[in-house]
Amino acid sequence: MAVQICIHSLYCFGTAAQFDACREKISEMPTLFISICRLLQFNHVVRLACAVAECICSLAVCTILQMHLFQSGVIWQLIPHLFRYDYTLDEGGVEHSEETNKQSLLNKLARSGCEALACLAGFRQGTPDNDGVQKSLRAMLTPYICRLMQQSEDNDRVLKILNSNTEDPYLIWDNSIRSELLEFVEYHRTSISNTSELFGGEFKLSAHEKELIVGDIFIRIFNEQPNFNIQIFVQEKADQLLEDEKERDGKKDDTMIDWCIEPATIASDEILLHAVMSLQALANLLVANAGLEILLIGYYKLLFSFFKLQESVELQGIALKVVSLTSVNRECVADIADSSQLPLLFSLILQDHSFIPTVLSTMITLASNTKIVKESLEYGGLLHILSVFFNDQFDPTTRILAAELLAKMQADKLTGPRWSRFIVRFLPPIFTDALRDSPQTA
């Protein structure tokens, strides 16, 4: 009888919440929200808990009521119910009903609890956004789960993921993580007084602490699964790279710096590792998403600055790959020209022979821009190219690339004749003509 009275009372408050005047009166009843929260503590009375969750959904149409519920600690009571869900019940194909199957009833409660949390956060139509609730849910249930709750009303999908083991660029989730979360929630749920001013917003999973996360993506996992289809997060990644560059000590304007003079600290090693991981993820995105390179406009000075880091050949190589991948876009080429960073690119030829083919092929693409052709000559690019062209220790393919680049430079309408005049100072004129006609033969 008492349970029925509580259920009908909850239905009454839920219906009353549809009216402005009633919501105003309800907001003046602080003990009501504490009582609603207390009803969720009766785990064995599942139907009552379902009614409470439905009532919360109705009350969540108002920011004031959302905050009253949130501050009463209702979030601590709802989260444990999410993990009582069993997705195998429906997938098993066995007929069941809430009247005869306890797990079926628990699944209903999990769905209702998930919906209540979504309404409290403002993820449902007609409910206002609540930053406090969203911050708590992002911390405890991860940003990916929150995004799923916001984008779709398919609570079964959310609950299945929460109760499964997953490791992909979006989510790292397993039994130990669930146990850690539930232990944290249980501590606050059973506390007599409020023990978390942020109501879970400060929670950090230990399994995620050492992971590099950019744009809510686990970079390590994405690099292991480069073909994973993810939403674009290049802007966030570029911002992260910018922050890494600001943190790096000893930043100079010099084009060549020996960064190995002083031993690298643990902090700088970590920054270098994160930069390598981020650039590799960026390269993976560019390979998988044609046309994405345009988002890197404005970041080329930063990308070229990685060529200075002689202590990390891996970082230089990946940065070179990113520049090479984006050089196919005309607007990106124009931005590279405006950045005036070509000396850093040519310097790679002297530093590591493994970079030479990529540097030359990239320059061949960039040579479609007159400004780059002009600056390459002014920055001494001719000597770097000839050093490869004349060196018989390089394989023929690499030397042919150097010849093709010289031919491309000479083909420029404005600066090409100047290139030809300088080339004849090192080669007989007949070779200059041969370079233009057939680089491979030359």
- Beta pairing class for 172-173 and 217-218: unpaired
Decide if pLDDT at 240 tops 90. Answer: no
Taking residues 126-146, report their average pLDDT: 96
Decide if pLDDT at 198 tops 60. Answer: yes
Instruction: Identify whether 202 is part of a domain.
Output: no
Tell me, yes or no, whether 327 and 359 share the same domain.
Answer: no
pLDDT of residue 238: 55
Q: Per-residue DSSP letters for 84-114?
A: T--THHHHTT----TTT-HHHHHHHHHHHHH
Tell me, yes or no, whether 382 and 433 share the same domain.
Answer: yes
pLDDT of residue 193: 80
Which residues constitute the domain of residue 233? 211-335
Tell me, yes or no, whether 154 and 229 share the same domain.
Answer: no
How many CB atoms neighbour CB 164 within 10 A? 12
Decide if pLDDT at 259 tops 90. Answer: no
**For tokens 């939403």, what's the residue?**
231
Beta carbons of 99 and 54 less than 8 angstroms apart: no
Tell me, yes or no, whether 301 and 354 share the same domain.
Answer: no
Instruction: Identify whether 287 is part of a domain.
Output: yes
User: In the structure encoding, which two tokens stand for residue 270, read together?
Assistant: 């970590």
Decide if pLDDT at 159 tops 70. Answer: yes
Side-chain half-sphere exposure of 66, counting CA atoms within 13 A? 22
pLDDT of residue 90: 76
- CB neighbours of 4 closer than 8 A, spacing ≥ 6? none
Decide if pLDDT at 243 tops 60. Answer: no
Alpha-carbon distance of 31 to 12, in angstroms, equals 16
Q: Cβ-count burial of 136 within 10 angstroms (0-12 exposed, 13-18 middle, 19+ buried)? A: buried
Q: Per-residue DSSP letters for 130-157?
A: -HHHHHHHHHHHHHHHHHHHHH---HHH
Confidence of residue 281 (pLDDT cuts 50, 70, 90): very high
Q: Which residue in 234, 354, 355, 342 sits closest to 295, CA to CA?
A: 234
Confidence of residue 197 (pLDDT cuts 50, 70, 90): confident
Encode burial over 269-279: b for 16+ CB neighbours within 10 A, e otherwise. eebbebbbbbb
User: What single letter denotes the amino acid at residue 113?
Assistant: G
pLDDT of residue 429: 79
Q: What is the mean pLDDT of the chain?
A: 88
Beta carbons of 188 and 200 less than 8 angstroms apart: yes
Cross-strand partners of 217: 214
Decide if pLDDT at 91 tops 90. Answer: no
Task: Report pLDDT digits (tens) over 403-413.
Answer: 999 999 998 99
Decide if pLDDT at 121 tops 60. Answer: yes
Instruction: Identify whether 83 is part of a domain.
Output: yes
Taking residues 315-341, report their average pLDDT: 95
Taking residues 296-317, report their average pLDDT: 91
Tell me, yes or no, whether 142 and 180 share the same domain.
Answer: yes
pLDDT of residue 194: 81
pTM (whole model) above 0.95: no
pLDDT of residue 254: 46
* Total tally of structural domains belonging to the chain: 3
Sign of CA dihedral 275, 314, 325, 388: positive
**Domain end residue (candidates: 335, 358, 376):** 335
Task: Report pLDDT digits (tens) over 46-55.
Answer: 999 999 999 9
Task: Report pLDDT digits (tens) over 367-392.
Answer: 999 999 999 999 999 999 999 998 98
Confidence of residue 439 (pLDDT cuts 50, 70, 90): low
Tell me, yes or no, whether 182 and 217 share the same domain.
Answer: no
Which of 170-179, 190-199, 304-313, 359-368 bottoms out in mean pLDDT, i.e. has the lowest? 190-199
**Domain end residue (candidates: 303, 335, 367):** 335
User: Which domain CATH number covers 65?
Assistant: 1.25.10
Taking residues 83-96, report their average pLDDT: 80
pLDDT of residue 377: 94
pLDDT of residue 247: 54
Taking residues 145-168, report their average pLDDT: 95
User: In the structure encoding, which two tokens stand for residue 381, read together?
Assistant: 């690019």
Tell me, yes or no, whether 320 and 419 share the same domain.
Answer: no
Instruction: Identify whether 205 is part of a domain.
Output: no
Beta carbons of 234 and 282 less than 8 angstroms apart: yes
**Domain end residue (candidates: 314, 335, 356):** 335
Taking residues 109-127, report their average pLDDT: 96
Tell me, yes or no, whether 176 and 223 share the same domain.
Answer: no
The terminus-to-terminus CA distance of the chain in angstroms comes to: 98
Instruction: Identify whether 206 is part of a domain.
Output: no
Decide if pLDDT at 119 tops 90. Answer: yes
Which of 29-43, 85-99, 150-164, 266-280 bottoms out in mean pLDDT, i.e. has the lowest? 85-99
